[in-house]
Structure 1
Amino acid sequence: MTTDALIIAAGYGTRIAGISASKPLTPVAGVPLIERGIAQAAAAGISRVVVVTGHRAEELEAFLAALAPRIAIEIVAERLADWSMPNGRSVIAGAARISGDYLLMMADHLFERSILERLRGEGAPDRGVTLAVDRRLDNPLVDPDDATWVRLGEGGRISAIGKSLTQYDAVDCGAFLATPELARAIEAAIADGAAGSLSDGMQRLADAGRAATMEIAGAWWLDVDDPHFHAIAEAQAPAYFR
């Protein structure tokens, strides 16, 4: 199983800017989001984390440099020159620092450790990526206005993915087991004229039958994207980070 993780932490975080100037460093019950994510990855068996930085990069990189020895994990910072670009560009930049498969995580998402533990074991030759999905479409912890939706096909494969889907079966949890195919798919989508979002690459793999899913079976996760969900994180996250 992979021992590498890639965390996207380059964006501005407009919706949470009133709470914190740096989204990855936004504290949740006294611990920054990025630290909680890295700590859960380490608890799930990850020993090396690449963090793609951008907005307020120097501040975040200084924090990561101090965090690595404190929690005994290797952390590599990869800075994007233009962090305003779609998030697939972060995947391309970070994946270039990893030789094989990796857990891909969003810096503003929190996950119960069991999700990451199970996801690490999902690798198989018949897939280029495996996405953790939640089939609870009425989950109150999901923001329907900001969610990335997933339409499933035969065998739980992804047939379509995106924020604008009107027919869907699950929601994207923001955690992936990625192979090098994912970054190549994003690059190919850009070459064909796409903006370069992560979903652009995911859809390309889905079209090729190479995008699988792992249902999280009721496990806890949360996208901490605005003050409302930050308040929920403050109340609920400590129970899952012990």
Structure 2
Amino acid sequence: MQTVVLAAGQGTRMRPLTDERPKPMLPVANRPLVSHTVDGAVAAGASRIVLVVGYESDPIREYFGETHGGVPITYVTQHEQAGTADAVRTAGPELDAEPFVVLNGDALFEQDGLDRLYDGGPAIASVRVDDPTHYGVLDVEEDVVTGIVEKPADPPSNLINAGAYLFPSEARDWLDVPQSERGEHELTDVLERTIDRVDVRPVALGRWLDVGRPWELLEANEWRIEALAESSPGGSFEGSVSDDATIVGPVVVEAGATVREGVTIEGPALIRSGVTVGPNAYVRGTTLIGEGARVGHAVEVKNSVLMSGASVNHLSYVGDSILGRDVNFGAGTVVANLRHDDEPVQLTVKGERVSTGRRKFGVVLGDGAKTGIDSNLNAGVTLSTGATTRPGETVTRDR
């Protein structure tokens, strides 16, 4: 089945993590976010992948090359991010006169659900949620989708649109839709045309995650690191692990990583190649320590993502946080990850404070951010790419 994967967007809700790279290339466990989507498509039966790229596309092209998992890959460029229908229309000339699947490259799908999507006629992936009022909701009659209602006050069902579709070949001629009120060409308008012309079945995905904001990137890593750890319940230690280290639960230590004396790691955790942990460090929760990162003496890292080259070397605490590439924590830097009123922590997204829905959430630091010694970072603080703090400073607002 030919498959279109959408990976052209700027990921503005994920900033500052996407200031210098596309959102689909953010790390989720042992590979980029979009690789999980492409791998799932290949496993489900994709015969060819058409990757729609745009913003900062070179890392995507370099990662996948001309084939992935034995499946050929073609790249098309969406020069202006004018909506999802426009993205698929950009891919249109590369599509044969056959049915085609469309997947978002910034979403995670349970494999069984993807397999069901590929197995049959026109379909839309769906997920059941407790409160569907913030989503596009499917109206279904006798196992056929009859319509989609956007963010309804009175939803016709609790099935929401999960943004994965199997279109009939004729849909290539239905991609030219007018701009919506948002000024974009929406794929949901193409879907409405499809629903009017052919029977479209709803396919239950099971677990699914739209990864659009930093706390969802943290959740994505929790999901996929736990799954990776479950595949090695006794742990996997290809790197160097000191006899004086304590490893509890499923922990993966890749080749080229070093876990030094006095370290305790409570899994699930993934320690990537080139990482050094310790001495006397404590890693717990579901944590990713990215390639070449350093966690030093008397440092505690809990339920966090440290991207490649990040350095937390001395006497620091990182909890429920995301540190971008090459971030450097000065000695004694402490992250707060809990509000005193026990309300969910808020984070700034596109200039507005938004609830993360998480009682515990720490900070988000863009690539190359640096803290002075004895800095304190309040829960929900964002430091922009290259931002710095002064020694002894308590940071309570974004910088």
Check whether TM > 0.5: yes
Q: Any conservation in 1 of the 2:145–2:202 contact (CA below 8 Å)?
A: no
Deviation, 1:162, is 4.8
Q: Which residue of 1 aligns with 2:124?
A: 131
**Mapped partners of 2:202, 2:184: distance in 1:** 27
Secondary structure at 1:96 match in 2: helix
The answer on 1:97 being equivalent to 2:94 is yes
**Mapped partners of 2:200, 2:227: distance in 1:** 26
Distance 1:111 1:64, change over 3 A: same
**Mapped partners of 2:63, 2:16: distance in 1:** 21
The answer on 1:113 being equivalent to 2:111 is yes
Q: Which residue of 2 aligns with 1:32?
A: 32
Q: Which residue of 2 aligns with 1:15?
A: 13
CA RMSD, 1 decimal: 2.6
Distance 1:239 1:95, change over 3 A: farther
Q: Which has the higher contact order (CA 8 A, sep 6+)?
A: 1
Q: Which residue of 1 aligns with 2:200?
A: 212
The answer on 1:181 being equivalent to 2:174 is no
Question: Which of 163, 169, 185 is the matching residue for 1:196?
Answer: 185
Distance 1:46 1:9, change over 3 A: same
CA deviation profile, 1:198-221 (whole Å, cap 9, x unmatched): 011112222x2525133316x221
Q: Any conservation in 1 of the 2:4–2:101 contact (CA below 8 Å)?
A: yes
Deviation, 1:195, is 4.4
**Mapped partners of 1:182, 1:237: distance in 2:** 33
CA deviation profile, 1:23-81 (whole Å, cap 9, x unmatched): 11011113101111111111112231110011112332222217x35x32211111112
Structure 2: which 5+ residue stretches go unaligned? Answer: 232-399
**Mapped partners of 2:178, 2:41: distance in 1:** 30
Q: Any conservation in 2 of the 1:133–1:213 contact (CA below 8 Å)?
A: no
Q: Any conservation in 2 of the 1:103–1:120 contact (CA below 8 Å)?
A: yes
* TM norm structure 1: 0.81
Deviation, 1:155, is 2.2
1:32-51 residue pairs with structure 2 within 5 A? 32-51=32-51
**Mapped partners of 1:40, 1:195: distance in 2:** 28
Higher alpha-carbon deviation: 95-104 or 221-230: 95-104
Q: Which residue of 1 aligns with 2:85?
A: 88
Q: Which residue of 1 aligns with 2:143?
A: 156
**Mapped partners of 2:136, 2:226: distance in 1:** 26
Q: Any conservation in 2 of the 1:202–1:211 contact (CA below 8 Å)?
A: no
Size of the aligned set, in residue pairs, is 223
**Mapped partners of 2:180, 2:58: distance in 1:** 34
CA deviation profile, 1:160-212 (whole Å, cap 9, x unmatched): 3253333231111121111233332231x339999421011112222x25251
Q: Any conservation in 1 of the 2:180–2:186 contact (CA below 8 Å)?
A: no
Deviation, 1:239, is 4.8
Distance 1:181 1:34, change over 3 A: same
**Mapped partners of 2:185, 2:203: distance in 1:** 26
**Mapped partners of 1:111, 1:163: distance in 2:** 22
The answer on 1:236 being equivalent to 2:227 is no
Question: Which of 41, 52, 75 is the matching residue for 2:73?
Answer: 75
**Mapped partners of 1:184, 1:120: distance in 2:** 21
Q: Which residue of 1 aligns with 2:357?
A: none
Distance 1:81 1:161, change over 3 A: same
